[in-house]
């Protein structure tokens, strides 16, 4: 079994090697100076970390996240940077005091959407109470042009956003947002009648779909469905979602797959079996939905997770990595957000990540029967 490098990932990683050099402001003047002293805690704290590289649709640029200390050295802050895919000078795309992260290109490459905690225009002022600030949903979807300019808010959801994805035609965005506190809960907290149990404090993830043109958002899921992942169908009319019955941690291993229209309605079951079924990813031709699964074997956390596929019309689940004795992971996860399984453009293979010994590798699984398996 051989690992196979993935060009977009290698390109992004190689490009970021140059990118790190640009934002890194302080370093010894010469190599000999670097060897002449030991590292200090200040040196370690001053390190800038790079994550979440995303290649533009035309392959010409990479947007990525840089985490660095704030100017007053009191905290870390994340900003978006941009660099040509062929190498060259990196430039900062965002510079808000708030955290900017999770960049995603629009399908036409004209816009970069991202998550940010920056204050939205017309919202809470500094003079308002700390209680009001705590209730304000901070993390929302913003957009910015790759050539710069002012970032603009896109979503205005009552709960903070944790993940989002563009529709194939770029006209809408699906996103996950935490269900906000109920008015009853807010009143109890205000009246100091705020006794609670840990079970009550887990927030539900709700799926929304936002029309980019008018910024109107529609809530898609309600009730006993805590959504953990989603994927647009190629025609943009449906979403495959993974969801569990509650937000509680044990139910992370009790999740299933559903299909739902982008206009709303009752989700229909697609895969229901023992254990976790997560990270749905629709194939480019619409014939299959790939996902990560415990394959109905167990609900225990230590059970291996496999790469499986199922037809959108339902039917038997195919395990593509049954003979692969490592845990399958979706590449690109960061900051508590799951990564994405990656289909090849021809829909013949699926890329995934797995550890072997102490190293992480990228593998590809073959969909066709004669070559079924992974390399």
Query: Which residues of the chain does CATH 2.120.10.30 include?
Result: 155-375
Mean pLDDT of 305-312: 96
Q: How far is the C-alpha of 80 from the C-alpha of 95, rounded, in Å?
A: 8
Return the pLDDT at 135: 52
Any idea of the CA torsion for 326, 330, 331, 337, to the nearest 10 degrees?
A: -130
* Position 332 pLDDT exceeds 80: no
pTM value is 0.84
* Position 191 pLDDT exceeds 50: yes
Return the pLDDT at 307: 96
Task: Give the tokens for residue 135.
Answer: 């209730």
Band the pLDDT of 74: cuts 50, 70, 90: confident
**Residues 276, 308: contact at Cβ < 8 Å?**
no
Of residues 137 and 338, more confidence is placed in 338
Query: What's the CATH number for 155-375?
Result: 2.120.10.30
Return the pLDDT at 37: 82
* Position 313 pLDDT exceeds 80: yes
DSSP secondary structure letters along 249-293: GGGGGS-EEEEEETT----EEEE--SS-EEEEEE-TTSS-EEEEE
Q: pLDDT digits over 75-107, tens only?
A: 889 999 999 999 999 999 998 888 999 999 999
Return the pLDDT at 221: 96
Q: pLDDT digits over 212-264, tens only?
A: 999 999 999 999 999 999 999 999 999 999 999 999 989 999 999 999 999 99
Return the pLDDT at 243: 97
Task: Give the tokens for residue 274.
Answer: 């023992």
Task: Give the tokens for residue 362.
Answer: 């990228």
* Position 160 pLDDT exceeds 60: yes
CA-to-CA separations, 296 to 152, 253, 256, 258, 308, in angstroms, rounded = 44, 10, 10, 16, 11
Q: How far is the C-alpha of 155 from the C-alpha of 131, rounded, in Å?
A: 22
Say what percent of the chain tops pLDDT 70: 83
> Which range, 122-131, 319-328, 331-340, is most confident?
319-328
Return the pLDDT at 24: 40
Task: Give the tokens for residue 313.
Answer: 């019309």
Q: What are phi and psi of 15, to 5 degrees?
A: -65, -40
* Position 336 pLDDT exceeds 90: no
Band the pLDDT of 137: cuts 50, 70, 90: low
Of residues 4 and 122, more confidence is placed in 122
Return the pLDDT at 60: 96
């Amino acid at each position: 079994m051989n690992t196979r490098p993935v060009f977009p990932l290698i390109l992004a990683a190689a490009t970021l090697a140059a990118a790190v050099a640009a934002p890194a402001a302080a370093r010894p003047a010469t190599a000999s100076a670097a060897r002449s002293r030991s590292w200090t805690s200040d040196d370690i704290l001053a390190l800038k970390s790079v994550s979440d590289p995303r290649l533009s649709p035309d392959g010409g640029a990479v947007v990525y996240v840089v985490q660095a200390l704030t100017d007053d050295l009191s905290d870390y802050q994340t900003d978006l940077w941009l660099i040509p895919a062929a190498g060259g000078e990196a430039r900062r795309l965002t510079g808000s005091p708030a955290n900017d992260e999770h960049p995603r290109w629009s399908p036409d490459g004209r816009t970069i959407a991202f998550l940010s905690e920056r204050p939205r225009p017309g919202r809470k002022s500094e003079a308002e109470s700390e209680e009001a600030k705590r209730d304000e949903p901070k993390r929302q979807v913003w957009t910015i042009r790759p050539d710069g300019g002012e970032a603009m808010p896109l979503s205005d959801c009552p709960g903070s956003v944790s993940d989002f994805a563009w529709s194939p035609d770029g006209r809408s965005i699906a996103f996950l947002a935490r269900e906000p506190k109920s008015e009853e809960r807010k009143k109890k907290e205000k009246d100091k009648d705020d006794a609670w149990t840990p079970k009550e404090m887990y927030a539900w993830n709700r799926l929304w779909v936002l029309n980019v043109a008018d910024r109107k958002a529609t809530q898609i899921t309600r009730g006993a469905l805590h959504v953990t992942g989603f994927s647009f169908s190629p025609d943009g009319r449906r979403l495959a979602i993974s969801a569990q019955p509650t937000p509680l941690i044990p139910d992370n291993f009790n999740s299933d797959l559903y299909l739902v229209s982008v206009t709303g309605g009752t989700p229909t079951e697609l895969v229901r079996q023992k254990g976790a079924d997560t990270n749905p990813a629709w194939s480019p031709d619409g014939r299959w939905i790939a996902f990560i699964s415990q394959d109905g074997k167990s609900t225990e956390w230590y059970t291996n997770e496999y790469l499986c596929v199922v037809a959108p019309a339902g039917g038997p689940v195919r395990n593509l990595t049954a003979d692969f004795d490592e845990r399958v992971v979706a590449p690109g996860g960061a900051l508590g957000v799951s990564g994405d399984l990656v289909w090849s453009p021809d829909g013949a293979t699926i890329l995934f990540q797995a550890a072997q010994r102490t190293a992480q590798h990228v593998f590809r699984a073959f969909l066709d029967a004669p070559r079924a398996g992974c390399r």
